[in-house]
Chain A
């Protein structure tokens, strides 16, 4: 079993929809949680960064961490065609990038 599981999709939604992307994990030591967005043939870019449990909001994006369930989510409100990308979750037990574990990514398409 992988340490981090992420549904690969593909996921297609109409413009304006609310999108929910999720990752589950098995390592209870994970404390730092990130979401990266990766456009086709590009490198990932950091979208959201959270520490421990709780919610964090940034514009149309909300990251949610439930450590008791070992489950993290990224919500995108009012989705736009420009949100079409692959979304990678990543998590780490410490402040070291060396220990990051990535999910396999969910491919999202927002249809105009």
Chain B
């Protein structure tokens, strides 16, 4: 089945530690995205990538980093510089261009808790 796999599902981190969230897709989508979801707020875009080896900051990129070395993979690192990292993180993908390019397919999410 085609889809997006995020891991781990739950993650606990001590303050000052970096953590990396994995996102893998087998949909052959060119574009991939990372969103953060907090209670009472809409999804907020952290980073996105439209092509391998290229990525752009979203609306709340501070304290996060990404890489896009393969089309299928778009890992997100939450660094110690992120002031309030406890959140639900969602990875998504879409086709690039044409009808439906603004339709996202989401993974199941990763919940990060900072202790």
Q: In whole Å, how far is A72's beta carbon from the nearest beta carbon of chain B?
A: 14
Structural contact, B42 and A97, CB atoms closer than 8 A? no
Structural contact, A43 and B40, CB atoms closer than 8 A? no
Q: Known: A41-B109, A42-B108, A97-B94. Is A88-B43 also a contact (CB below 8 A)? A: yes
Partner of B101, one of A44, A46, A96, A101: A96
Q: Which residues of B contact A49 (CB under 8 A)?
A: 100, 103
Q: Main secondary structure on chain B at its contact with chain A?
A: loop
Partner of A92, one of B40, B90, B102, B108: B102
Contact flags (1/0) for B90-115 with A, using CB distance below 8 Å? 10101001111111111111010000
Q: Which residues of A contact B33 (CB under 8 A)?
A: 97-98
User: Is A95 an interface residue when CB atoms closer than 8 A count as contact?
Assistant: yes
Q: Known: A42-B108, A43-B108, A98-B48. Is A34-B103 also a contact (CB below 8 A)? A: yes
Partner of A4, one of B42, B105, B111: B42
Partner of A95, one of B99, B107, B109: B99
User: Is B41 an interface residue when CB atoms closer than 8 A count as contact?
Assistant: yes
User: Is B31 an interface residue when CB atoms closer than 8 A count as contact?
Assistant: yes
Question: Please, how many angstroms separate the alpha-carbon atoms of A26 and B84 in the complex?
Answer: 28
| Interface size range of chain A in the complex | 20 to 34
Question: Please, how many angstroms separate the alpha-carbon atoms of A4 and B43 in the complex?
Answer: 11
Partner of A45, one of B45, B100, B106: B106
18 additional A-B residue pairs with CB within 8 Å, beyond A46-B105, A97-B33, A103-B42 = A36-B106, A41-B109, A42-B108, A44-B43, A44-B104, A45-B106, A90-B43, A94-B102, A95-B98, A96-B101, A96-B102, A97-B31, A97-B92, A97-B103, A98-B33, A98-B58, A99-B102, A104-B42
**Chain B positions near chain A (C-beta within 8 angstroms):** 4, 6, 31, 33, 40-43, 45, 48, 56, 58, 90, 92, 94, 97-109, 111
11 CB-based A-B contacts, threshold 8 Å = A2-B42, A34-B103, A43-B90, A43-B108, A44-B90, A46-B103, A95-B98, A95-B99, A100-B102, A104-B40, A105-B42
